[in-house]
Homo-oligomer: A and B are copies of this chain.
């Protein structure tokens, strides 16, 4: 490979976005206003471009949505696919909880968008389907932990799973990477509260 003359596609003159930059800005706007409430004109305005210039970067508004949702889903699926050193269901569960928080924080805008999808189109329905598959795998993990005696059995396993992952998912509503809570601290706090609750003992 010979040395490249242009270190990075040098910016000169007009903005000159690439697809990933456009996607990042689009997702930010979708999260601010909602996907449906965001027009391609809104996006063009935020980028300082015209609509036509935008359509040079992607085929449709929905394609941007599909790319963003895949970014979120692949991250979450990675948490479950990661080989676990533990056979102990309780340890696996704690690792998955922690991993989910970290993915959520690291891909915050993408996961935020995912969690707001309602199934309004084929793209959205496909994403919901992948999400459901993820949820089922987690529910199975909680059921394992219940059988092993490490998760309370006086509450339905599916209900605990939903409550605890509802807690995790709610992080997108308020967490800001530039805020005072760092990602490791947050992951630790979530695992603590999920496992042992808020009450002192």
Which A residues contact B (CB, under 8 angstroms)? 32-37, 90, 116, 118, 120, 142, 149-156, 159-160, 162-167, 169-171, 173-174, 181, 186, 189-190, 192-200
What are the residues of chain B within 8 A of A34 when measuring CB–CB? 34-36, 118, 120
Which B residue's beta carbon lies closest to that of A165? B170
**Complex contact B151–A198 (CB within 8 A):** yes
In the A-B complex, the 10 residue pairs with the closest CB atoms: A166-B170, A197-B197, A167-B167, A36-B37, A36-B36, A196-B197, A195-B199, A155-B189, A195-B197, A160-B198
Q: How far is the CB of A183 from chain B (nearest CB, A)?
A: 13
Number of copies: 2
**Complex contact A199–B196 (CB within 8 A):** yes
**Complex contact A196–B196 (CB within 8 A):** yes
Q: How far is the CB of A56 from chain B (nearest CB, A)?
A: 26
- In Å, the complex CA distance between A11 and B142 comes to 51
A186 contact from B116, B159, B200, Cβ within 8 A: B159
**Complex contact B163–A167 (CB within 8 A):** yes
**Complex contact A170–B174 (CB within 8 A):** no
What are the residues of chain B within 8 A of A170 when measuring CB–CB? 162-163, 165-167, 169-170
Q: Contacts A34-B120, A155-B192, A170-B167; is A199 near B162 (CB within 8 Å)?
A: no
What are the residues of chain B within 8 A of A35 when measuring CB–CB? 34
What are the residues of chain B within 8 A of A153 when measuring CB–CB? 200
- In Å, the complex CA distance between A170 and B171 comes to 11
What are the residues of chain B within 8 A of A155 when measuring CB–CB? 189, 192-193, 198
What are the residues of chain B within 8 A of A190 when measuring CB–CB? 163
Which B residue's beta carbon lies closest to that of A190? B163
Q: Contacts A198-B164, A198-B195, A199-B151; is A156 near B169 (CB within 8 Å)?
A: no
